[in-house]
Chain A
Amino acid sequence: MSQAHPALREPWRSLHRQRQGASFGIWVFLASEVMFFAGALMVFGMLRLQHPAGFLAAARATDIWFGSVNTAVLLTSSLTMAVASQAAEAGLRRLALRCLGITALLGLAFLVVKGFEYRADILGGLVPGPTFRLEEPAAQLFFGFYWALTGVHAVHLTIGIVAVAGLAWRGWRGTLPLASPAFEVTALYWHLVDLVWVFLYPLLYLPGRSG
């Protein structure tokens, strides 16, 4: 072991192993996250099997433009996040910080679009309850999941934005060495939040468009 690297923490013996261990740890956590969303998607999927007509009608009532634009925004944020993580690993400080900033902004943009969409949904009578607009009973069920799933996803994204902004801030201040595993760990989390949306999009927005 040569001179201890500033990013090296106890109990790791080398930065290389520390990075490997951190990646492994976050992947194990992501497995947990996959099961978390799988639980809700299982219930959603089973209900869709039981009420195909109601779910198609309800999905048609979502706003496909908001949904599609947001999908593109998140995919783009994954691009900048991937570049940021790899740039940090390669020691390209300016690129890493710039991409982190753009990633956080794209995440914010997603939330803003989502906010407008929520507003339209509320005004359009898509909140389950007495003011609900659609006739089919299962449509309320669909929108129960629409709000729950997009809400939980938004919470995850918010955590991601805070984490990415924190990384950018500490990297810019110089308190976090670029070799720290935090960059890759945060990136992996960000990509997973993106992946969740990749599946929510065809489940919530695409069905029932051709009928």
Chain B
Amino acid sequence: MSEVAFDPTAPHGVHPPSYLTAGHTLRSWLTTTDHKRIAILYMLALTLFFFIGGIAAALIRLELFTPAGDLLTAEGYNRAFTLHGVIMVWFFLVPSIPVTLGNFLVPLMIGAEDMAFPRLNLLSWYIFMAAGLLAAFTILAGGVETGWTFYTPLATAFANGNVLAAAGAVFVAGFSSIATGVNLIATIHTQRAPGMTWFRLPLFVWGMYTVSIVIVLATPVLAMALLLIMAERGLGLPIFDPAHGGDPLLFQHLFWFYSHPAVYIMILPSFGVISELVTCFARRRIFGYEFMVYAMAWISIVGFLVWGHHMFVSGMSSYASLVFSFLSFVVAVPSAIKVFNWTFTFYRGEIGFAAPMLYAIGFIGLFTVGGLTGLFLASVPVDVHVTDTYFVVAHFHYIMVGGAVSAFYGGLHFWWPKITGRLYPEAWARFAAVLMFFGFAFTFTPMFLMGFLGMPRRYYSYPAEFQIWHVLASAGALLLAFAYLLPMAYLAWSLRWGRRAGDNPWQATGLEWSTTSPPPPHNFATMPRVAEGPYLYHPAETGPQHGQPEPEQKQGDHP
């Protein structure tokens, strides 16, 4: 039941040279325009930044082990959480899935030779590395203590750290994001193989398309916000300065116009990944494909209308709070649709619990908790109570770490055989996936509780009654760190000693599985032609029929 009519004469068994063996020199990597190699370059860079951000997180959790501020100074603690936020948001989470899996998979999934603008793709990596150098300079020069939000007047008038360098690093990284976004949009519009219509696209591609729209339209607003901050701090121009009649809230409006959609920049790609994993390991067509697409499109538009829920206690008009609160509830609907549809996809599925599926199931649970607590925060009275407490910290980590990072690891495992041509050790991977779920839950669930009890965020010392929760969180963080490092170890091991993967080790649908593993430099031996929709894991007639009574002893019966 192949979804694609292949050229039967396409060579199989005899492996053409793969993209990995197309050149062995460092130069061949640094000057490549092959989207697959650029994805690898990005992966290496992101791993480095993930380590740096992780070290900052470790410092934070170590400091919070005891109520007294003993390990770091107050100033040092401020710099540690700022570093953690800036690096993890802009140098890991925002680029993560689009520049690695997206870069690697989108051309393969739509049956293209490469991205629409291969040289722009490489340029975006160099811009990213330049931004990374600037970020590294910021760290080495002593860091910055404004928090990742760069709020004025703190960032413009009072902070002592390297605000200009840090804001500059984020500013430059934005160009790289925009270049990737433009490239993905143009690729999906112009490079689809014959027969690959819009509603035959895998949901991962839809995730990439919608996220690119958000990237292209939101990132420049952040760039301007940072530029204005830099102009005020560096050149002394009064922009937001209240002494001259300026309005610091306008900075917050600009900042959150980007930074709320930034949450969707992190989570829309995850939606795409999870949809691929759930269908493959439930051996089911996705439930409600069209609604999944509309939900992502809806999010990418309405997600721009809710930013004010970050400003309920800022002094913003209470009428505006009402509007933003209502819109925040509206944008939750499509996310709920997606969770329901993944769950319905399991229904009467032939579910296998390979490691990617474990990550996907963990994602669905954690994302649901994160999303529902987001609704708490979207209602003004609750938000006023828990603003700037650990409740907020727990909420967004559930979305961005429990959600986006789980999806990234799940996707990495799922496509690892395609990317490297090797299988990872399954038992270790399942262990790591389960460990990640529990480590995450131990780290961040206590934060909901202490946040609700009033523990404010961004403090390096705290009343002793919160210690039990902080100790739990720090212990969980240790598990979590181990769960993140373990896959890096066995994935690296598998590069040399892993079993060779066939073209399609998961028996998955999708054009990327029809070519060799790892793929040849130009992706396909012959141009693919697509005749049917995605996820044909079974004939349409055997899909879940909700009107019919449940057939007995038919669970998992695979035709």
Contact = CB atoms under 8 A, between A and B. Distances in A.
Q: Do chains A and B touch in the complex (CB under 8 A)?
A: yes
Interface of A: 10-12, 17, 20-22, 24-25, 28-29, 31-33, 35-40, 42-43, 46-47, 50-51, 54, 128-129, 137-138, 140-141, 143-145, 147-148, 151-152
Nearest to B115: A11
State the majority secondary structure of interface residues on A.
helix
Contact of B182 (A10, A28, A37, A151): A28
Contacts of A46: 247, 250
A179 B235 CA distance: 44
Interface string B110-145: 001111111010000000000000000000000000
B182 A152 contact: no
B184 to A, nearest CB: 10
B104 to A, nearest CB: 15
A37 B254 CA distance: 12
B456 interface: no
A143 B251 CA distance: 18
Given A50-B247, A144-B231, A39 B221 contact: yes
Interface in B192-243: 216-221, 223-225, 227-228, 231-232, 235-241, 243
Contacts of B241: 141
Given A21-B190, A28-B182, A33-B220, A54 B245 contact: yes
A152 B189 CA distance: 31
A37 B224 contact: yes
A28 B186 contact: yes
Interface in B157-181: 178, 181
A143 B221 CA distance: 21
Interface in B231-286: 231-232, 235-241, 243-247, 250-251, 253-254, 257
Given A24-B190, A148-B237, A148-B239, A10 B114 contact: yes
Given A21-B186, A145-B239, A36 B245 contact: no
22 contacts: A10-B33, A10-B113, A11-B116, A21-B186, A24-B186, A25-B120, A25-B185, A25-B186, A28-B182, A28-B186, A32-B217, A35-B218, A36-B224, A39-B225, A43-B228, A43-B247, A43-B251, A47-B250, A137-B245, A141-B238, A141-B241, A141-B246
Contacts of A143: 237
Given A11-B191, A21-B186, A144 B245 contact: no
Given A29-B182, A32-B217, A11 B114 contact: yes
Contacts of B185: 25, 28
A47 to B, nearest CB: 7
B216 A40 contact: no
Given A43-B254, A137-B244, A141-B246, A20 B190 contact: yes
A117 to B, nearest CB: 17
